[in-house]
Amino acid sequence: MSENSPQTAPPVRISVAGSAGTEGYDVLIGHQLLGELPGLIGPAAGGPSAAGKGRVAVLHPEALAGTGEAVREDLAEQGYEAIAIQLPNAEEAKTAEVAAYCWKALGQSGFTRTDTVVGVGGGATTDLAGFVAATWLRGVRWIAVPTTVLGMVDAAVGGKTGINTAEGKNLVGAFHPPAGVLCDLAALDSLGEHDYVSGLAEIIKAGFIADPAILDLIEADPQAARSPRYAHTAELIERAIRVKAEVVSSDLKESGLREILNYGHTLAHAIEKNERYNWRHGAAVSVGMVFAAELGRLAGRLDDATADRHRAVLGAVGLPLTYRGDQWPRLLETMRVDKKSRGDLLRFIVLDGLGKPRVLEGPDPAILLAAYGEVSA
**Residues 172 and 57 placed together within one structural domain of the fold:** yes
Over range 294-302, report the average pLDDT.
97
Backbone phi, psi, residue 178, to 5°: -75, 170
pLDDT: which is higher, 42 or 103? 103
Domain span at 289: 193-373
Residue 3 falls inside a structural domain: no
**Cβ count near 312 (within 10 Å):** 13
**Residues 162 and 128 placed together within one structural domain of the fold:** yes
Last residue of a domain, one of 133, 158, 190: 190
Residues 343 and 282: their CA atoms lie apart, in Å, by: 28
Residue 177 CB burial class (10 angstroms; 0-12, 13-18, ≥19): buried
Over range 31-49, report the average pLDDT.
76
Over range 326-351, report the average pLDDT.
84
Q: What is the CATH number of the domain that holds 123?
A: 3.40.50.1970
- Residues of each annotated binding site: 123-127, 147-148, 160, 169, 202, 265, 281
**Residues 129 and 237 placed together within one structural domain of the fold:** no
Q: What is the CATH number of the domain that holds 265?
A: 1.20.1090.10
Last residue of a domain, one of 140, 171, 190: 190
The single-letter code of the amino acid at 94 is K
Over range 226-234, report the average pLDDT.
95
Residue 2 falls inside a structural domain: no
What is the model's pLDDT at position 44? Answer: 44
Last residue of a domain, one of 174, 190, 206: 190
**Residues 93 and 235 placed together within one structural domain of the fold:** no
Residue 7 falls inside a structural domain: no
Per-residue burial over 196-207, b if 16 or more Cβ lie within 10 Å, else e, is: bbbbbbbbbbbb
**Residues 164 and 95 placed together within one structural domain of the fold:** yes
- Residues of each annotated binding site for Zn(2+): 202, 265, 281
With cut-offs at 50, 70 and 90, classify the pLDDT of residue 8: low
What is the model's pLDDT at position 23? Answer: 83
Residue 225 falls inside a structural domain: yes
The single-letter code of the amino acid at 60 is H
Percentage of residues in the chain having pLDDT higher than 70: 91
As for how many domains the chain has, the answer is 2
**Residues 180 and 261 placed together within one structural domain of the fold:** no
Residue 1 falls inside a structural domain: no
**Residues 150 and 197 placed together within one structural domain of the fold:** no
**Residues 247 and 280 placed together within one structural domain of the fold:** yes
172-224 pLDDT, tens digit each: 999 999 999 999 999 999 999 999 999 999 999 999 999 999 999 999 999 99
- Residues of each annotated binding site for NAD(+): 123-127, 147-148, 160, 169
**Residues 186 and 209 placed together within one structural domain of the fold:** no
Q: Are 123 and 90 in contact (CB under 8 A)?
A: no
**Residues 302 and 342 placed together within one structural domain of the fold:** yes
**Residues near 255 by Cβ (< 8 Å), separated by ≥ 6?**
none
**Residues 56 and 167 placed together within one structural domain of the fold:** yes
Query: Taking the model in full, what pTM does it have?
Result: 0.90
**Residues 170 and 207 placed together within one structural domain of the fold:** no
